[in-house]
Structure 1
Amino acid sequence: MNIGEILDNKYKIIGSLGQGGTARVFLVENIVLNNYWALKVLSKDSPWISYQLEEVDILKSLSHPMLPRIADLFGDNDNYFIVMDYIPGSNLVDVLQKEGKITEKVLIKWTFELLDALDYLHGRNPPVIYRDLKPSNLIVDDTGRLRLVDFGTARLHREGKSEDTIYIGTQGYAAPEQYGNGRSDQRTDLFSLGMTLVHLATGIHPLKTGEGSIRVLLKNSGISKGFSKFILGLTEPEPAKRFQDAQTALKALNNIAGSKRLIFKRNIKTQASMFRGVIGITSYLPGSGATTLCLALGRYLAKAGKKTVLIELNNSGDFSRLEEILDDLGELKIRRENSFEAGEIVFYPGMSDCSEISRKGVDIVILDLGHLNNEHKLRELNRTDIKLVLCPRVPWKYSIFLEYDGGIKSQTKDEWIFVADTSDDFDKQMLNKNIKHLVSYSLPKNPYYFTEEERKNTERFFKEICSIAEARHN
């Protein structure tokens, strides 16, 4: 591969991102859409090609904010080419070298995020076992979010298999059962997480800790007794003595960190003003006001100086009709092939996939998912940072709404924030009986032209949803 070479008529090689024993990775630019991706090159002659293709199959089926996505797959006579998320940032080995050991507060936040990702992977059918969790496979991206990369050793967990066929993992982080003494399962990943936390907390590689000294090292590094006990519960050599699954570990961590959950609420204004990420908006029933809420939030955020993009990830045609109205009103600034700009907002009408839309220079992306009526929309909602679900606007539809809610299963459902367009106490009481995180918000009559009262109401609403979302992530 040469710098400047163009593959598949659209991917221009910008530079090398790295090379391992079985694959090369390049930074490429999609010259059609003007955005950047990581391109993994797999030789068809590699003795490991079957394992590498299994990695591709696993990633294609996953949808979680911490995990990389596969956007494209093609090949030639010699190689397979996998186009994946390019995640700019620093891996945690580099962070350790530059900044030293990580504080307990940051470690607890990252542990929540990693356990959530592991719970998602282990909850698949069959479960996905990552098997190589370590600092070099964790990246802090340019938004400050932790991302898990390199699924080259991940495997589907099959019942009835007494031991792994080969040892896979990294010394110091790998669980004892990965050395051929047993079978990798969910507890294997929890052991690796524990050893990763030991390294990050102490700055000392697990291979150099010595027998029986982890507790002392954690204490000397200023780790609290409670969090130290939690880490030791992850790193038990015998799988039966460890936390048995990510959910159990999450509950234990919640008990340790419960008092820290209130920190964000004392800084709502600051944190809301700092928010950068993706907001997903949907409803269970059509006509509940998802597009109106998208426009209201988008307009408010753009007026507040945020570079905002609205993506219509449904086939309602509302954005195209809005485009014509804004053109008639003289508000339309720019028209492009698949987008238009008006009122400091970039709109993408009728998109079936948002993975190739550039995030360069963008502060906030708002997804208008419309009616939540298929798995694709559910996956996209799960990937967002703030997940909003609108309740029906009339009380006689509440029973249908609640019945629909009971049938939806999602790994991130506890993060969903439900929005009720009502100020009626009785309506809110009816919904509150069955729903967590209910927020009331009166949708503006015209979301494109706010009154001052509507602007203040939207500001309050945005701060409130940021507060709830941050409490879930911390």
Structure 2
Amino acid sequence: MDELPQRLKPGDVLGGRYRIEALIGQGGMSTVYLAEDMRLPGKKRAVKQSRQEEGVRASLAEANMLVKLNHPNLPDIVDYYGAEREGRFNYLVMDYIEGETLLQRFERQGRRMPASQVSEYALQLCDVLDYLHGHLQDPIIYRDLKPSNLMIDVHERLWLIDFGIARSYRIGQDADTVPIGTIGFAAPEQFAGRQTDARTDLYGLGALMYYLMSGGQYRHAAGKHLRELDAGLPPGLAELVEKLLQAEPDSRCQSAAEVRGELQRLLTEQRAQDSRRRERQPLLVAVGALYAGAGATFAALALARALHGLGVPHALAEPPKQQPELYALLFGEKHAPAGYRCYTEAAGEPALREAAWADGCTLWLPAAPAAEAARAPAQPAAAAAARWLRKLLALERPLVLVDIGDEWHRHDVRELLSVAAEVVYVVDPMVHKLDLAATRSRLQLLHELRAAGKRVHGIANKTVASKHTGQWLGILPEPPACLLPAIDALKVAEASWLGQLVQDRPGIQQQLARAVYPWLRSWLPHEAYAADAGGAKRTLRKLWKNG
């Protein structure tokens, strides 16, 4: 131990066994490192170094507490090295959890988490809190529930880490030895000189849920009920959070088991409502570019016109954005119906039937042009997102394509992706863009969507016939679902001069349709074309046979 410096560095070895690889994080009284267990090659450990006298005592108390615990959501203690005298360092060696903190996940999701995702995490926390509070000889009060103290591993399991301020509950004790906690998440009694108990952690759970569902606000600072911030939240869940955040412990839920039971009931009710809603809701298909310029809008329009050719009723929608394009692409000033109002216009909340702009089997739903959007009253981002998405879900169409461009990480687009049944990403031959940091981030998001049960498809756009085409396709993230041909620039220009979509031009329409029909046949549900049981089915059989 004497050879170890105050700050460990890569290559240092602790106890002749743990080789330090990197710094993971640093707090007020401790530093955490990633290490390799040399006795188990390839096995990673987390080494927590406490570097102040108070930290050393806290580290020893944490070690004594954790060695008694055995729960799937708690890391195991592997080793402990104590100081021989005051002022020296203590080292706590724990299982290394590969993943990210809940705070990192929250930030990566644009500081917005769907209520269903928050509820699933809360259920896992209820399980571990129930264990800590009720299944040990000396109940443990954690006292510091916050996003940075929770890890999410690659299997979506939530891990409770950092027991630095946890304490054992003592019946009859009037006050904690040290009143402590994190402002924004700590219960009132933690700062009022009173003893904390199981209900203190339940307050922390409520504060955590409020933070995640409010876009990162604290209940005591915001001073608003969750439903005031987002009217789309399930009312029962918002009421449960409000109950957990009561100032008096007697007014809260009294045990983690009680909270778990209420969450399970609410989730069961919500799933039943979602199931009934899905029976009426259209099938949402999100179409996005893996990077700027790949051609998400071109692909979305090609799919829309192919569906029109098949006789499948559908809509193509564009989310509200800074630079909306669909209205101009469709030559809205020329082709939109008289008195047409875009579905995203806030004033008067126009019904979608009033916004009807149909072209055969396609219902066009462009976002309001920038000048019109600027005149609309300002709305909170969450409310605006909920409004346009609710309108799409209320459509009386079996299928809705949504062109999200390359804005995958916008919080309202993430809400859309959470309810979309199919997710389509578009790539083009510019292979250097696959190495962009933004592209890697979107590929990670697509991986997470797949893991969540979404069907994800890749479309290769601007495909040219070349002896090297196979090499291009071979380096894509996966074999593409279909190949859209490159369209001659003159044909695109001619269509624009004539005020038409190039996807509707003779020859090109058939070329694009043949490219996408086999893929559409692989996933398009029967209900999408069942409305016209005669004509649409005959068209499908004919075109798929010839395609």
Normalised by the shorter chain, which TM-score bucket? 0.5 to 0.7
Letter in 2 for 1:174: A
In structure 1, runs of 5+ residues without a counterpart are 266-474
Deviation by residue 1:252-277 (Cα, 9 ceiling, x = unmatched): 222212246789x9xxxxxxxxxxxx
| Number of the residue aligned with 1:159 | 171
| Number of the residue aligned with 2:268 | 258
Identify which of 9, 12, 21 aligns with 1:14: 21
Is the CA contact (8 Å cut-off) linking 1:219 and 1:228 kept in structure 2?
A: no
| 1:97 shift after superposition | 1.5
| Number of the residue aligned with 2:45 | 37
Is the CA contact (8 Å cut-off) linking 2:210 and 2:219 kept in structure 1?
A: no
Q: Equivalent residues in 2 for 1:198-277 (5 A)?
A: 198-206=210-218, 209-211=221-223, 213-220=224-231, 222-259=232-269
Deviation by residue 1:377-422 (Cα, 9 ceiling, x = unmatched): xxxxxxxxxxxxxxxxxxxxxxxxxxxxxxxxxxxxxxxxxxxxxx
Identify which of 61, 75, 82 aligns with 1:68: 75
Deviation by residue 1:211-251 (Cα, 9 ceiling, x = unmatched): 2x03344534x210011111111111111100011111122
Secondary structure of 1:250's aligned partner: helix
Is the CA contact (8 Å cut-off) linking 1:218 and 1:228 kept in structure 2?
A: no
Letter in 1 for 2:90: Y
| Number of the residue aligned with 1:83 | 93
1-side partners of 2:165 and 2:102: how far apart? 19
| Number of the residue aligned with 2:104 | 94
| Number of the residue aligned with 2:142 | 130
Is the CA contact (8 Å cut-off) linking 2:202 and 2:256 kept in structure 1?
A: yes
| Structure 1 pair 80–69 and aligned structure 2 pair: CA distance change class (3 A) | same
2-side partners of 1:149 and 1:130: how far apart? 10
| Structure 1 pair 119–63 and aligned structure 2 pair: CA distance change class (3 A) | same
Secondary structure of 2:79's aligned partner: strand
| Number of the residue aligned with 1:144 | 156
Identify which of 189, 197, 203 aligns with 2:209: 197
Secondary structure of 1:248's aligned partner: helix
Is the CA contact (8 Å cut-off) linking 2:139 and 2:169 kept in structure 1?
A: yes
| 1:3 shift after superposition | 1.2
| 1:32 shift after superposition | 2.2
Is the counterpart of residue 113 in structure 1 residue 120 in structure 2?
no
| Structure 1 pair 224–23 and aligned structure 2 pair: CA distance change class (3 A) | same
| Number of the residue aligned with 2:198 | 186
Secondary structure of 1:117's aligned partner: helix
| Structure 1 pair 229–37 and aligned structure 2 pair: CA distance change class (3 A) | same
Secondary structure of 1:26's aligned partner: strand
| Structure 1 pair 127–261 and aligned structure 2 pair: CA distance change class (3 A) | farther
| Structure 1 pair 52–81 and aligned structure 2 pair: CA distance change class (3 A) | closer
Aligned-pair RMSD on alpha carbons?
2.2
Consecutive aligned runs of 4 or more in structure 1 exceeding 6 Å deviation: none
2-side partners of 1:97 and 1:254: how far apart? 27
| Number of the residue aligned with 2:384 | none
1-side partners of 2:22 and 2:107: how far apart? 24
Letter in 1 for 2:126: L
In structure 2, runs of 5+ residues without a counterpart are 1-7, 276-547
| Structure 1 pair 218–228 and aligned structure 2 pair: CA distance change class (3 A) | farther
1-side partners of 2:70 and 2:270: how far apart? 28
| Structure 1 pair 207–230 and aligned structure 2 pair: CA distance change class (3 A) | closer
Letter in 2 for 1:114: L
| 1:57 shift after superposition | 0.9
Letter in 2 for 1:79: F
2-side partners of 1:237 and 1:79: how far apart? 39
2-side partners of 1:27 and 1:151: how far apart? 18
| Number of the residue aligned with 1:345 | none
Secondary structure of 2:246's aligned partner: coil
| 1:47 shift after superposition | 2.6
2-side partners of 1:209 and 1:105: how far apart? 24
Identify which of 170, 173, 180 aligns with 1:168: 180
Higher relative contact order (CA 8 A, sep 6+): 1
2-side partners of 1:137 and 1:218: how far apart? 25
Letter in 2 for 1:238: E
1-side partners of 2:187 and 2:251: how far apart? 13
Is the counterpart of residue 52 in structure 1 residue 62 in structure 2?
no
| Number of the residue aligned with 2:428 | none
| Number of the residue aligned with 2:295 | none
| Structure 1 pair 234–218 and aligned structure 2 pair: CA distance change class (3 A) | farther
2-side partners of 1:128 and 1:184: how far apart? 10
2-side partners of 1:176 and 1:208: how far apart? 10
Letter in 2 for 1:228: A
Is the CA contact (8 Å cut-off) linking 1:166 and 1:180 kept in structure 2?
A: no
| 1:46 shift after superposition | 1.2
2-side partners of 1:214 and 1:85: how far apart? 39
| Number of the residue aligned with 1:313 | none
2-side partners of 1:217 and 1:154: how far apart? 33
Greater C-alpha Rg: 2
| Number of the residue aligned with 1:421 | none
Deviation by residue 1:14-46 (Cα, 9 ceiling, x = unmatched): 011112121111100012211100011124x51
1-side partners of 2:119 and 2:219: how far apart? 23
Deviation by residue 1:317-338 (Cα, 9 ceiling, x = unmatched): xxxxxxxxxxxxxxxxxxxxxx
Is the CA contact (8 Å cut-off) linking 1:130 and 1:189 kept in structure 2?
A: yes
Identify which of 2, 12, 16 aligns with 2:9: 2
1-side partners of 2:220 and 2:242: how far apart? 17
Deviation by residue 1:69-110 (Cα, 9 ceiling, x = unmatched): 101112465322211011121112221211131111111111
Letter in 2 for 1:168: I
| Structure 1 pair 5–99 and aligned structure 2 pair: CA distance change class (3 A) | same
Letter in 2 for 1:223: L
Is the CA contact (8 Å cut-off) linking 1:219 and 1:225 kept in structure 2?
A: no
Aligned residues: 262
Secondary structure of 1:47's aligned partner: helix
Is the CA contact (8 Å cut-off) linking 2:50 and 2:89 kept in structure 1?
A: yes
Letter in 2 for 1:232: E
Letter in 1 for 2:192: G
